[in-house]
Amino acid sequence: MEWVLTATGRSPTNIAVIKYWGKRDEALILPVNDSISVTLDPDHLSATTTVAVSPSFDRDRMWLNGNEISLSGGRFQSCLREIRKRAGDVKDEKKGVHIGKEDWEKLHVHIVSYNNFPTAAGLASSAAGFACLVFTLAKLMNVSENEAALSSIARQGSGSACRSLYGGFVKWVKGEEANGSDSGAVQLVDESYWSDLVVIIAVVSSRQKETSSTSGMRDSVLTSALLQHRAEIIVPKRIRQMEEAIKNRDFGSFASLACADSNQFHAICLDTTPPIFYMNDTSHRIINMVERWRQFEGAPQVAYTFDAGPNAVLIAPNRKVAASLLQRLLFFFPPTPETKLESYIVGETSILQEAGVQAAKDLDSLPLPSEVKDKNNVQKYPGSISYFICTSPGKGPILLSEEHSLVNPATGLPFK
Ligand code: DP6
């Protein structure tokens, strides 16, 4: 075995509050409209990737969550090609390694990546995954491009990945150029700007095989007349309003816009032939719960947004409201008797105490939500949610030290 050089990075996932749905160019992944997202805390939802290079490697290889996967897909190839093109000189005195710019074309890489959340949860993993791949490859290959250029490259792996190159609130500018050179993400504000926000993700139990975003949006572009109207008329105005709401930390406007945009995205799915159903009964019940609460208080209390699946992402303005939201969620969607509380609420679990829940027995004494009208006829849905993740807005990709490497330097293969 000759020398092995590695770099390890970690990238967050993100959730759109103004949705990307529809491409104007499939190969380059260019969207029909701008979108805005919030990056989520990588401690709870992220991808960690090690990229290794060695003269002993005979081809590019990749392992995802412990299994080797093919790199032959166009999206991986685009990211690898674009980063290799921009590679710089790399020197490692300790290992006596000097890789010149021109050598990268002949060297192969091994890529090992893990998500810190279960793939089966149906949470967008491609955003974190491609952002991490591009970010870490760029570090290993000493690419001097800024985040904006890396964002445009990550976009060619998966559209939403271009937004995971930054923390906080991020806008993906659709761009005008046919070659996609001006289509990439910019940071609106960093994660400390609106740090009171709390995000609770309800991972909804579902057995249904979902339509992938890629094929779903292709069908929508081809068949939904609403999509065109949304892209041309609705989104440009909403983007301006959302930017304003974020700048002013105006939670009422933020929540109204996020909910309306999620609902419009799902309306477009329904307007697609054949229609696409991403939300299920549980998703609809969560929307009803939030809407009833809003009506009772006369103002939005929390925002909800749903991607290409039934999971609800709920955003509360602060910990107090988040605790109140968690009380409601646990009231209507309690765990089954077999489910342990520690595996039902994960992430920033300290919020449970604020919700008055220290142990499973406390679930029986949760207060009746004030908006419940008929106290004698309350429907509860145990088992319809797999678990909740409590998290908050988070930072962009970071480089990790060598001790976090997922590649064994002696073999060039993943650690078992
Ligand atoms: C509903 O980025 O997964 O999450 O570009 O084809 O890889 P591809 O699609 P992807 O689509 C995400 C769609 C969405 C909305 C959003 O994240 O903006």
Same fold, 5-190+399-414 and 198-391: no
Which helix (H) or strand (E) element contains residue 235?
helix 235-247
Please work out whether the CB of residue 308 comes within 6 Å of at least one atom of ligand 1.
yes
The pLDDT value recorded for residue 121 is 64
In this structure, of 11-25, 200-214, 245-259, the range with the lowest mean pLDDT score is 200-214
How many percent of the chain have pLDDT more than 90? 93
Mutating to test ligand 1, I would choose from 13, 20, 30, 219 the residue with most ligand atoms within 8 A of its C-beta, which is 20
Query: Which of 229, 225, 223, 286 is CA-nearest to residue 259?
Result: 286
Please work out whether the CB of residue 10 comes within 6 Å of at least one atom of ligand 1.
no
The pLDDT value recorded for residue 12 is 97
- Tens of pLDDT, residue by residue over 238-270, are 999 999 999 999 999 999 999 999 999 999 999
- Tens of pLDDT, residue by residue over 329-374, are 999 999 999 999 999 999 999 999 999 999 999 999 999 999 998 8
- Tens of pLDDT, residue by residue over 92-116, are 999 899 999 999 999 999 999 999 9
Average pLDDT, the chain: 95
Going from the Cα of 159 to the center of ligand 1, the distance in angstroms, rounded, reads 6
Structure tokens at 309: 């699946």
- Reply yes or no on whether the pLDDT at 206 is more than 80: no
- Tens of pLDDT, residue by residue over 305-331, are 999 999 999 999 999 999 999 999 999
Q: Is 174 left (phi over 0), alpha (psi -120 to 50) or beta?
A: alpha
Atom of ligand 1 nearest to the CA of 307: 1
Going from the Cα of 111 to the center of ligand 1, the distance in angstroms, rounded, reads 23
Determine the Cα–Cα distance for residues 404 and 407; give it in Å rounded to an integer: 9
Banded model confidence at residue 125, pLDDT cuts 50, 70, 90:
confident
Please work out whether the CB of residue 307 comes within 6 Å of at least one atom of ligand 1.
yes
- Say if residues 353 and 397 touch (Cβ distance below 8 Å): no
Tell me which residue has tokens 């994660």: 191
- Tens of pLDDT, residue by residue over 146-179, are 999 999 999 999 999 999 999 999 999 999 999 9
Mutating to test ligand 1, I would choose from 24, 79, 156, 160 the residue with most ligand atoms within 8 A of its C-beta, which is 160
Structure tokens at 4: 């092995």
The pLDDT value recorded for residue 119 is 67
- Tens of pLDDT, residue by residue over 39-66, are 999 999 999 999 999 999 999 999 999 9
The pLDDT value recorded for residue 205 is 77
Please work out whether the CB of residue 11 comes within 6 Å of at least one atom of ligand 1.
no
Tell me the domain boundaries of the chain: 5-190+399-414, 198-391
Query: How many CA atoms, within 13 angstroms, populate the side-chain half-sphere of residue 293?
Result: 22
Residues 6+ apart with CB under 8 A from 272: 216, 219, 220, 223, 224
The pLDDT value recorded for residue 154 is 98
Please work out whether the CB of residue 159 comes within 6 Å of at least one atom of ligand 1.
yes
* Mean pLDDT (whole number) for 275-288: 96
Going from the Cα of 21 to the center of ligand 1, the distance in angstroms, rounded, reads 7
* Mean pLDDT (whole number) for 134-153: 96
Specify the CATH number of the domain 5-190+399-414: 3.30.230.10
The pLDDT value recorded for residue 416 is 79
Q: In DSSP terms, which residues pair with 387 in a beta bridge? A: 203
Structure tokens at 142: 């000493």
Give the per-residue SS3 of 294-342: HHHHCCCCCEEECCCCCCEEEEECCHHHHHHHHHHHHHHCCCCCCCCHH
Determine the Cα–Cα distance for residues 253 and 249; give it in Å rounded to an integer: 9
Please work out whether the CB of residue 18 comes within 6 Å of at least one atom of ligand 1.
no
Banded model confidence at residue 411, pLDDT cuts 50, 70, 90:
very high
- Reply yes or no on whether the pLDDT at 208 is more than 80: no
Q: Are strands 61-64 and 108-115 parallel, antiparallel or unpaired?
A: parallel
Banded model confidence at residue 122, pLDDT cuts 50, 70, 90:
low
Long-range contacts of 217-220 (CB under 8 A, 24+ apart): 217/21, 217/22, 217/23, 218/23, 218/26, 219/272, 219/273, 219/274, 219/276, 220/21, 220/22, 220/268, 220/269, 220/271, 220/272, 220/276
The pLDDT value recorded for residue 92 is 93
Specify the CATH number of the domain 198-391: 3.30.70.890
Structure tokens at 216: 């779903």
pTM score, whole prediction: 0.97
